[in-house]
Amino acid sequence: MPCERPSTDSASVRPNRPEALSGPASRRVFLAATSAVGGVLAAGPAAAEAAPLNMEWAASAPEPSTCVTLTVNGERHTLTMDNRTSLLDLLREHLGLTGAKKGCDAGACGACTVLVDGRRVVSCLMLAVRLEGAEITTVEGLERGGRLHPLQQAFIDQDAFQCGFCTPGQIMSALGCVQEAHTGCAEEIREWMSGNLCRCGCYPNIVRAVEQAARGW
């Protein structure tokens, strides 16, 4: 049977890396301060003496933040966060859900894949402030009553992982693939799972795991 090709959605704006936001002064404050210094120096020594830079004011400038309420794995959370926080950093740094991995941090490897309102997303490219009222599912939310999700069990049965780094993202992408009914043939599964990279090369086993889970759905 002919296999469909996925449509492509426009990528979300990539937030700054969290390491750029650490410390007492943010990147925005740093740029504002250096711009002010450059302007004073360009005006000459007299201007520098007449208008010294108020570094204390620059360091105390507040960061833009927003209060967001969202549901993660069935639990409701209300958090106030920097507007540049990605969904991935919200999950890992604010909620302690470290299943989604930070791999490329550029939306290319799929290790951070989660479901937002039932749709697959790479969480490193999605700003958390855009998710007011959203429902997020991560790999931690698949197990029920001490029993593994059928996809989790299928990955074990088919030996579909080695190092395990990409596995949470692979499983969440596979869940979306099955729910979207893109499991008509192995070629279709490979196409719709192509955004998730496995450095260990377990692709044939991953395809078999998705096929096993789809049969038992």
Write out pLDDT tens, residues 53-107: 555 555 566 679 999 999 999 999 999 999 999 999 999 999 999 999 999 999 9
Helices 167-179 and 150-157 cross at an angle (nearest 10°) of 120
Q: pLDDT value at position 18?
A: 39
pLDDT tens per residue across span 149-166:
999 999 999 999 999 999
Flag whether pLDDT at 27 surpasses 70: no
**Tokens 């204390």 correspond to what residue?**
56
Q: Which of 118, 109, 111, 112 is nearest to 136 (CA)?
A: 118
Measured between alpha carbons, how far is 33 from 77 in angstroms, rounded to an integer? 36
Measured between alpha carbons, how far is 138 from 126 in angstroms, rounded to an integer? 14
Q: The whole model's pTM is what?
A: 0.72
- For residues 209 and 27, the model is more confident at 209
